Amino acid sequence: MTVTTNPAEGTASAGAITTRRVAAGALDPHALRADFPILRREINGHPLVFLDSASTSQKPDVVIDTVSDYYRAYNANVHRGIYTIGEEATAAYEAARAKVARFVNAPDSHEIVFTRNATEAINLVSYSWGRRNIGRSDTIVLTEMEHHANLVPWQILVQEKDGDLEFIPITDDGILRLDVFEVLLRLKPKLVAFTHVSNTLGTINPVREMVELAHAAGALVLVDGAQAVPHLPVDVQELGCDFYAFSGHKMLGPMGSGALWARRELLEAMPPFLAGGEMIREVHLRRSDFNDVPWKFEAGTPAVGDAIGLGVAADYLDGLGMAAVRQHERELVAYALETLGREVPGIELYGPMDPDLRGGVIPFNLPGIHPHDVAQVLDRSGIAVRAGHHCTMPLHERLDLAATARASFSVYSTTEDIDALVIGLVEVQQVFGE
């Protein structure tokens, strides 16, 4: 199926499609589900109930078709070929950059660096900015709830530079201790890095407040937005941070797509992350002159089709309206917390119990049953949940948990999905005699 008449426009139909799925400012997930072909699958004779969107989101037809269209109609490298399909590919690639910039309200599309995911975006900052600016005894402040992607790169950096890591603790219900954060800022850290929305607890952190406190102490701020950008309005200018990382595959886009937003003056001052083709202006045998941002950080052939697909995913979500997306997921969280707590005997729920403080993520345990067993039995009924430590081992240690099961939502999730989960969990308890 060809979905574009002009590759530089991406897909003109994305906004029109999503507009039909929103009525009076409210998102209609039942109508949206028609856009996601995988949701028509059956697993073990049951309709697929996909509750692992925090791991990766499913993709609408318009994104799938756009990527296919690139490979079928104008597959070529970007910024190189002086021929029709090469120019079409370049135009579509750069149009996608502009779409992503608009989606997070970046003031300049050149402040968007395409990466494979949020992990690569954070590593880019750690290797490029970090190795130039972090030295002996310098402090970086993180939190106890960080995904490994926003922990391990900083561990490697401070070990190399003989710096220090400090951590903002959490309360037992998963809220950051801002009083301790203010104490840690007296150490004059060079960088504060934290997640916008916890991938395990769903906690929505007060980014603007934390940025203001960090800046007042002279620190730069990196925000891991992987779990925020797909689920709530994100305006990097309003947040005031210095770096913002996110993944495309969690926001209905293709695998292998993502972005780093950073203030242009920081990008200008940072050395390249990877070296090779495309990130250079001139190369001589003994020296090279580097390209302008953002291309200075995009060495080699990029994932062109995936980047174009990411731009379309941004259009799709924008057409829904991120305020409507947030309201939908808030209602799902409220329904899930109430229903699970009432209908599943003994279930243990973690994270903030106030839906206003929580994204679409609900970790839980059934006492006496390992989360892996929970997930395996649920899969017999076509219900997909995550089980394990969710790349937050220190957080699980803080909560004294070996593992958890996790249900997580997206725009296509419904209360019927939650009802199916409730029935499935009761069946799990019956299977294990709990």
Backbone angles phi, psi at 61, to 5 degrees: -55, -40
Backbone angles phi, psi at 256, to 5 degrees: 80, 15
Q: Is 288 helix (H, G, I), strand (E, B) or coil?
A: strand
Task: Give me the pLDDT at residue 15, please.
Answer: 55
Of the candidates 259, 293, 318, which is a domain's last residue? 318
Question: Do 364 and 386 share a domain, yes or no?
Answer: yes
Q: Judging by DSSP bridges, how do beta strands 386-388 and 348-349 pair with one another? A: unpaired
Task: Find the CATH number of the domain harbouring 327.
Answer: 3.90.1150.10
Residue 405: both structure tokens together: 């099961």
What is the amino acid identity at position 168? I
> Which pLDDT tens digit goes with each residue over 153-180?
999 999 999 999 999 999 999 999 999 9
In a domain, 119, yes or no: yes
What ranges in 61-108 are assigned the alpha helix state H?
61-73, 84-103
Query: By the 8 A CB rule, do 208 and 178 touch?
Result: no
In a domain, 122, yes or no: yes
Question: Do 278 and 336 share a domain, yes or no?
Answer: no
Q: Which helix (H) or strand (E) holds 306?
A: helix 304-320
Separation of alpha carbons 55 and 414, rounded Å: 18
**Residue among 355, 328, 327 nearest 341 (CA):** 355
Question: Do 128 and 223 share a domain, yes or no?
Answer: yes
Confidence of residue 207 (pLDDT cuts 50, 70, 90): very high
**Residue among 18, 8, 56 nearest 304 (CA):** 8
Instruction: Decide if pLDDT at 3 tops 80.
Output: no
Separation of alpha carbons 36 and 71, rounded Å: 21
Query: DSSP string of 348-365?
Result: EE-S-S-GGGB-SEEEEE
Number of Cβ within 10 Å of residue 271's Cβ equals 13
In a domain, 51, yes or no: no
In a domain, 70, yes or no: no
Of the candidates 318, 335, 369, which is a domain's last residue? 318
Question: Is the alpha carbon torsion for 247, 253, 254, 259 positive or negative?
Answer: negative
For this structure, is 241 an active site residue? no
Of the candidates 318, 335, 351, which is a domain's last residue? 318
3-class secondary structure per residue, 100-137: HHHHCCCCCHHHEEEECCHHHHHHHHHHHHHHHHCCCC
Question: Do 279 and 331 share a domain, yes or no?
Answer: no
Separation of alpha carbons 20 and 35, rounded Å: 11
Query: DSSP string of 185-215?
Result: GGG--SEEEEESB-TTT-BB--HHHHHHHHH
In a domain, 21, yes or no: no
Task: Give me the pLDDT at residue 14, please.
Answer: 60
First to last CA, the chain: 50
Question: Do 94 and 204 share a domain, yes or no?
Answer: yes
DSSP class of residue 276 equals S
> Which pLDDT tens digit goes with each residue over 72-104?
999 999 998 899 999 999 999 999 999 999 999
Mean pLDDT of 38-53: 97
Range of the domain at 385: 322-431
What ranges in 194-278 are assigned the alpha helix state H?
207-216, 236-239, 264-269
Task: Find the CATH number of the domain harbouring 219.
Answer: 3.40.640.10
**Residue among 97, 69, 73 nearest 85 (CA):** 73
In a domain, 22, yes or no: no
Question: Do 142 and 257 share a domain, yes or no?
Answer: yes
What is the amino acid identity at position 328? H
Please tell me the total count of domains within the chain.
Answer: 2
Question: Do 312 and 328 share a domain, yes or no?
Answer: no
More confident of the two residues 20 and 164 = 164
> Which pLDDT tens digit goes with each residue over 215-269?
999 999 999 999 999 999 999 999 999 999 999 999 999 999 999 999 999 999 9
Task: Give me the pLDDT at residue 45, please.
Answer: 96
In the set 266, 391, 393, 401, the catalytic residue is: 391
Task: Give me the pLDDT at residue 26, please.
Answer: 87
Query: Interhelix angle for 61-73 vs 84-103, to 10°?
Result: 160
Strands laid side by side in the 243-247 sheet:
112-115, 258-262, 243-247, 220-224, 191-195, 139-143, 164-168
Q: How many CA atoms lie within 13 A of 143 on its CB side?
A: 28
Separation of alpha carbons 355 and 391, rounded Å: 23
Instruction: Decide if pLDDT at 22 tops 70.
Output: no
